[in-house]
Amino acid sequence: MTVPKMKTKTRIFLWLLLAVGCLLYCAMERWFVYDIDDYGFSTVSQLAIGADGSTLVTNDVPVTSLADAIRSQLVSYRYYNGRFLIHGLVQWLCGTQPAWMVVALNTCLWGLLLVCLALLCFGRGRLSVPKAVTVLGVVWLLMPVSARMMMGSVTAAADYLWTGAMTLLVLVVFRALGKGSSFGGSVWISMTVGLLGLLVGTMQESFSIGISAGLAVHAVAHRRQLSREQWVMAVCYIAGTAVCCLAPANFRRAGMLGYGLHFEALIDAAKTPVVFFMVLAMAVTWCVKRAAVKKVVKGNIIVAVAWVVNLAFAFFVAYTRAWQLTCVALCSTVLLLSLLDELLAGRRWVWTVAATVLALSTVFVAVNQYRYRSGMWKVQQALFAQARSAEGGVVDLHEAFEVDRPYSRSALAPVWRLYTNNFAVALINDNQQCCDGNLSKFLTRCENPELVKALLPDSPGHIALKFGSNEATAIHGKEAVRCEMFVITRQPLDAAVAGSPCRTYEWHGNHYYVYNAALAGL
| CA–CA separation, 522 and 515 (whole Å) | 10
For 186-210, give the DSSP string. -HHHHHHHHHHHHHHHTT-HHHHHH
| CA–CA separation, 380 and 415 (whole Å) | 9
| CA–CA separation, 328 and 23 (whole Å) | 26
SS (HEC) of 354-368: HHHHHHHHHHHHHHH
| CA–CA separation, 26 and 32 (whole Å) | 10
- Residues 304-363 pLDDT 10s: 999 999 999 999 888 878 888 999 999 999 999 999 999 988 788 899 999 999 999 888
Contact between residue 201 and residue 208 where contact means Cβ atoms under 8 Å apart: yes
| CA–CA separation, 392 and 448 (whole Å) | 13
DSSP-derived secondary structure letter, 391: B
Contact between residue 308 and residue 366 where contact means Cβ atoms under 8 Å apart: no
Alpha-carbon separation of residue 279 from 144, 273, 341, 357 (angstroms): 15, 10, 16, 21
Q: What is the pTM of this model?
A: 0.83
**Confidence band for 450, pLDDT divided at 50, 70 and 90:** confident
**Confidence band for 11, pLDDT divided at 50, 70 and 90:** confident
| CA–CA separation, 190 and 168 (whole Å) | 19
Stretch among 126-140, 308-322, 426-440 having the lowest mean pLDDT: 426-440
For 246-315, give the DSSP string. T-HHHHHHHHHH-----HHHHHHHHHSHHHHHHHHHHHHHHHH-HHHHHHHHHHTHHHHHHHHHHHHHHH
| CA–CA separation, 344 and 348 (whole Å) | 8
Widest pairwise Cα distance in the chain: 85
**Confidence band for 173, pLDDT divided at 50, 70 and 90:** very high
| CA–CA separation, 358 and 362 (whole Å) | 6
Percent of the chain exceeding pLDDT 70 equals 72
DSSP-derived secondary structure letter, 446: T
Cβ–Cβ contacts within 10 Å for residue 55, how many? 10
